[in-house]
Amino acid sequence: MLDVPKTNFSDAQALRVMSNGKIIHRWIQNIIKKQYPEAILEEEVTTHDCHTFIDVVLPDRAIEIKTCHPWMFNYMKKGDFVLSRDQKPHFLQVVHGAMVTDKDYAQLIYIERQNLLMKEFIIPITGETAWKVDEELATLREIKIKNWLPEPIPRAFEGKECCWGKKNDKFCPYYNKCKGVTNGNNPHTSTA
């Protein structure tokens, strides 16, 4: 959005994990397409706020397919898991996709990447779910208008420590930039 340069690039292990995710992703898309010939795969949508590709669009819903680690899959099965809180970026992405394609439902399909177990969440598009997306879009618009980078607190994880940098920095392309800002080396303003 602000054309901030990346500071970290994926290593071979991270690329393998992402490649496996793409293979599983295409496999699930093909299964859906066989069951629903009217399905649109990778529908490209551009609005004044964003440019996105929606994994699958059916007549009544937008679908996003995600692979996850076994520990996350097991956590999703626990009673205290709340999709809109614990997987907020995915929740916002799929609800936004349903909103911009004028669908009644959003659906997230999680595939556990070791045993290929699946868990699905169907989210009705209501005033409350739409409000959560609109609130995030308002925040992003403010950042863009002010050309200002907010404090690098991992908002996607409700104030928890950023999980990407905890064990390694292989998946976050901005890890070093955030780490530098967090350590007081940057006044929260974009120089990009």
- Angle made by CA atoms 120, 124, 127, in degrees to the nearest 5: 145
Dmax over CA atoms of the chain, in Å, equals 53
Q: Give residue limits of the domains in the chain.
A: 12-147
Give the H/E segment covering residue 43: strand 40-46
Give the H/E segment covering residue 61: strand 61-68
Q: What pLDDT is recorded for position 164?
A: 47
Q: Domain spanning 12-147: which CATH class is it, in words?
A: alpha beta
Structure tokens at 5: 């340069």
Residue 157 CB: number of other CB atoms within 10 A?
16
CB 79 within 8 A of CB 86: no
Q: What pLDDT is recorded for position 152?
A: 61
- Angle made by CA atoms 18, 22, 28, in degrees to the nearest 5: 140
CB 13 within 8 A of CB 169: no
Give the H/E segment covering residue 70: helix 70-76
CA atoms within 13 A on the CB side of 60: 5
Residue 28 CB: number of other CB atoms within 10 A?
19
Identify the three-state secondary structure at position 53: strand
**Is pTM beyond 0.85 here?**
no
pLDDT in tens, the chain (192 residues): 556 666 666 777 777 878 888 999 999 999 999 999 999 999 999 998 888 999 999 999 999 999 998 999 999 988 889 898 889 899 999 999 999 999 999 999 999 988 999 999 999 999 999 999 999 999 889 888 888 776 665 555 554 555 544 544 555 666 666 665 554 444 444 443
Could you give the C-alpha distances from 130 to 94, 98, 127, 141, in angstroms and in order? 11, 10, 5, 16
Structure tokens at 166: 């905890």
In which residue are the tokens 């959560």 written? 132
